[in-house]
Structure formats: structure tokens, C-alpha cells
Amino acid sequence: MSEPRTGRRIFWIEAIVVAVVVVVAAALILPAIQQAREAARRTQSRNNLKQLGLALDNYHDTHQVFPPGGTFDADGTPYQSWTVYLLPYMEATPVYSVIDTGRPWDDPVNFDLIVSGSFGGGYGYRDPSVPIEKTETGLRAIHYSPNQWLMYRNSSVRLNDIPDRGHTLLMADAFGSYAAYGDPINWRDATLSYRTAPLGFGHPFRTSGTHVLFADGHVEFVPESVSPEITAAYSGPESLKPTPRLTAQRSEPYRIPDRPFWRYFLGDRGRKSIMRFTVSPDRLRLVATFGAVPADRREDNRWRIDFAEFARDMPIEDAAVTGMLTADELRPFLNLPHLKRLDLQEAQIEGDVASVLSAASHVEVIGTP
């Protein structure tokens, strides 16, 4: 009897030893994994600022000035943000082309298109180390801001205006009170000590330091130990300092206007092939505009999934489809539960259209190819 008991005792001792080894190994490995992930997130944030710096440089090459922090009309109405003006320089010209820059950013014509997040993740405006993705009003937040001495209301600062470009902050981690994507009021005071003011600079979740994009295009990780006098000097020379009126912030947080607006969705079905979906304010009419189909395009159903989510719960009754598409790409529209009419007069459709439409006899089709 003693031998089986001894065997069981040995088994449990071995099991406990193995468990202890696993726990100790996990305790040693997990911090390393977390550090590696944070290092990757930090690298991504640094790359985001580098890409923004390249876009700003290309904008300057084209216009001989940096983009304005925001454009405003004579009565102070905000129109467009630097984030919108950079779109053509961040491989997003098709997106920029459908924004009406002659209207305010939150005009019913522009509002959903700009703030809905239809741009595939915001083109590098999010820091993966920051878990805050929305503003107080639920709009998509930006985690970087420019120096208000260089980019402010209707600004037009040139590189030649900056004597020490390698030590003048152009853009950096925003510490808090994030602006919404497309909001023309989005700049910070570089003279404030980092991590001390909601509308100053500094990383809110990383105490070791802050990523800074300088005017000469290089990105530097400025450690927390750097003196406030040095970081304040990054704001630039006094000759660049704008008047308080040009850098004023809102007295109250932005509120979404309570008014009907058109809804937009931009889809991607292949390299450089953009689709635009527009829904009327009453959500009854849809216009779908397809871009040219690249010759090397592979079938990609991602846009269908995104479109189904976009149109979910909308009582769309009329749909007009224009541009180049395949017969199979008509199916998402025919699946709209309330659809009564489908206008194909301006569509160029390849494939067996008749067989696709035969499954939707309840829909009136106008202009069958």
C-alpha cells in the first residue's frame, strides 16, 4: 500500500513543481511581452509623426507655407482644419476631393463625411498607446496637435520664418482635451511645461517622455527630465508669436449641431478605387458612386460588410448606382430590406445582370443595362 501512496505523492510534488515553474516563467515573460508591445506602439506613434512631418513638408513645397491651423471666415465661423488640408499629401486625394472646403466642417454637407471615421483609421492621427478614441461628444479624437505659434487661425507661416528649425516644435503628443478629427480649432501652447495642462503637450499615459516633430522634419523623444525652460524654447522666436485672438480656444467644449445632415461612407474595393455612398437626411434615398475598377483588382468583399453596417437600420427606398461595377456588386443594394426602386441609368455593369436582378422582383429597376 505504501508504494502507490509514495507514487501519488511524487506525482503531486512533480505537478506542483511544474506549476511553480510555469507561474515563475509567466511572471518573467509577461513583463517582457508588455514592454515589447509598448515599444512597438511607441515606434508606431513616432512613425505617425514622421508621416505627418512629411505631409507638412510636401504641403509647404506646394504652397510655400504650412497649412493654416484652421480656416475661418470674417465672422469667426470655423471652416476646415489642417487635418483636412493634409489629406492630398497623405495619399488621400480621393477623400479630399469629396469634401466641400467652401462650407464649414460641420455643415450638413460635410459633417458626417469628415467626422464619421470613413477614412480608414484616420491616416495616422491616433497614437496606439492612447486608449481614448473619442472626444467628449463622441467624435473621433486626434492624439497630436501643432504648435500654435506656427499653425493657428488662417495662419500662413513659412519655413524661412523659422530661424532654428531643428529646435522649433511643429507638432507633438497632445496631453488631453483631444480635438475631433476635422475640428479647425486644434493647436497647443508649446510654452507650457509638458504634462501640466490639458491644452498643452505631453503624453498622457507615458511618463518617460514625449514625441516631438520639429520644423526641420526630424522626430525626437524628449525625456521627462528636460527642463521646462528648454521645452518652452521649442515654441520658437517671439517674432512668430501670434495675438491671443488668433490662438483662442473655445470657452465650452464643442457640441454637435442638432440638425439633419447627409450621411456619407467611403468604401475601398481595391488599390486606389474609392466608392462614395451618400444618404439623404431623411435616410430614404441612397446614391452610390463607384470609381474605375483597377485592372489588377482582386475580388474584395470588405466594402460590402462595411456598407451593410453603414446602411443598417436605414429605411432606404430609392437607390441610384453610378460608375463601373460588376453584376455581383449589385447584390448589397438589392438586399436593402426597404428598397423599392433601383436606378441604373448611369451605371456601367459587367456580367450577368439579368440573373442577379431576377432574385429581386419586388424592386423596380430603372435603366436596366
pTM beyond 0.75: no
Least confident of 9-23, 31-45, 205-219: 9-23
Q: With bands split at pLDDT 50, 70 and 90, how would you rate the model's confidence at 7?
A: low
pLDDT in tens, 262-303: 787 777 766 556 778 888 888 999 999 887 665 555 456 678
CB atoms within 10 A of CB 35: 10
Of 55, 86, 53, which Cα lies nearest the Cα of 211? 53
- Are 64 and 185 members of one domain? yes
Give the mean pLDDT of 207-223.
94
Q: Over pLDDT 70: what percentage of the chain? A: 86
Q: Over pLDDT 90: what percentage of the chain? A: 47
The whole-number pLDDT of residue 51 equals 93
- Are 96 and 183 members of one domain? yes
The better pLDDT of the pair 296, 195 is held by 195
- Are 220 and 109 members of one domain? yes
Q: Determine the 3-state secondary structure of 338 from DSSP.
A: coil
Give the mean pLDDT of 36-53.
88
- Are 294 and 185 members of one domain? no
Q: What is the CA radius of gyration of the chain?
A: 27
Q: Determine the 3-state secondary structure of 124 from DSSP.
A: coil
Residue 258 located in a structural domain? no
Instruction: Please answer whether residues 70 and 176 qualify as being in contact, where contact means their C-beta atoms are separated by less than 8 angstroms.
Output: no
Instruction: Please answer whether residues 123 and 116 qualify as being in contact, where contact means their C-beta atoms are separated by less than 8 angstroms.
Output: no
d(CA 326, CA 328) in angstroms, rounded, equals: 5
- Are 225 and 314 members of one domain? no
Asked if pLDDT for residue 34 goes beyond 70, the answer is no
Q: Give how many domains the chain has, as a whole number.
A: 2
The better pLDDT of the pair 140, 316 is held by 316
Residue 31 located in a structural domain? no
Asked if pLDDT for residue 356 goes beyond 70, the answer is yes
Kind and range of the H or E run holding 112: helix 111-115
Average pLDDT, the chain: 85
| Strands annotated E in 2-121 | 70-72, 78-81
Residue 4 located in a structural domain? no
Residue 29 located in a structural domain? no
Asked if pLDDT for residue 246 goes beyond 70, the answer is yes
- Are 123 and 211 members of one domain? yes
Q: Which residues lie closer than 8 Å to 230 by C-beta, 6 or more apart?
A: none
- Of the three residues 247, 279, 298, the one that is the final residue of a domain is 247
The whole-number pLDDT of residue 82 equals 96
Residue 16 located in a structural domain? no
CB atoms within 10 A of CB 365: 16
pLDDT in tens, 81-124: 999 999 899 877 777 888 889 999 988 888 877 876 555 445 57
- Are 292 and 172 members of one domain? no
Instruction: Please answer whether residues 126 and 135 qualify as being in contact, where contact means their C-beta atoms are separated by less than 8 angstroms.
Output: no
- Are 230 and 292 members of one domain? no
CB atoms within 10 A of CB 42: 19
The whole-number pLDDT of residue 202 equals 93
The whole-number pLDDT of residue 67 equals 97
DSSP state of 238: G
The better pLDDT of the pair 368, 57 is held by 57
Rounded to 5 degrees, what angle do the CA atoms 209, 214, 219 make?
55
The whole-number pLDDT of residue 121 equals 43
- How far from chain centre, in Å, is Cα 272? 18
Instruction: Report CA torsion sign: 269, 275, 281, 283.
Output: negative
Give the cell for residue 338.
426597404
- What string of DSSP letters covers 135-193? -TTSPBB-SEEEBTTTS-BT----GGG-S-GGGSEEEEEB-SSPPBTT-S---B-TTSP
The whole-number pLDDT of residue 294 equals 55
Residue 338 located in a structural domain? yes
The whole-number pLDDT of residue 35 equals 61
For residue 125, what are the domain limits?
42-247
- Of the three residues 247, 280, 295, the one that is the final residue of a domain is 247
Instruction: Please answer whether residues 150 and 157 qualify as being in contact, where contact means their C-beta atoms are separated by less than 8 angstroms.
Output: yes
Residue 32 located in a structural domain? no
- Of the three residues 247, 276, 307, the one that is the final residue of a domain is 247
The better pLDDT of the pair 58, 117 is held by 58
The whole-number pLDDT of residue 120 equals 42
Grid look-up 496606439 returns 128
d(CA 263, CA 4) in angstroms, rounded, equals: 74
Grid look-up 505631409 returns 55
Asked if pLDDT for residue 153 goes beyond 60, the answer is yes
- Are 230 and 289 members of one domain? no
- Are 108 and 207 members of one domain? yes
Number of continuous H segments (helices) and E segments (strands) in the chain = 9, 13
- Are 202 and 346 members of one domain? no
Residue 198 located in a structural domain? yes
- Are 238 and 189 members of one domain? yes
Asked if pLDDT for residue 213 goes beyond 80, the answer is yes
| Strands annotated E in 12-149 | 70-72, 78-81, 144-146
Asked if pLDDT for residue 37 goes beyond 70, the answer is yes
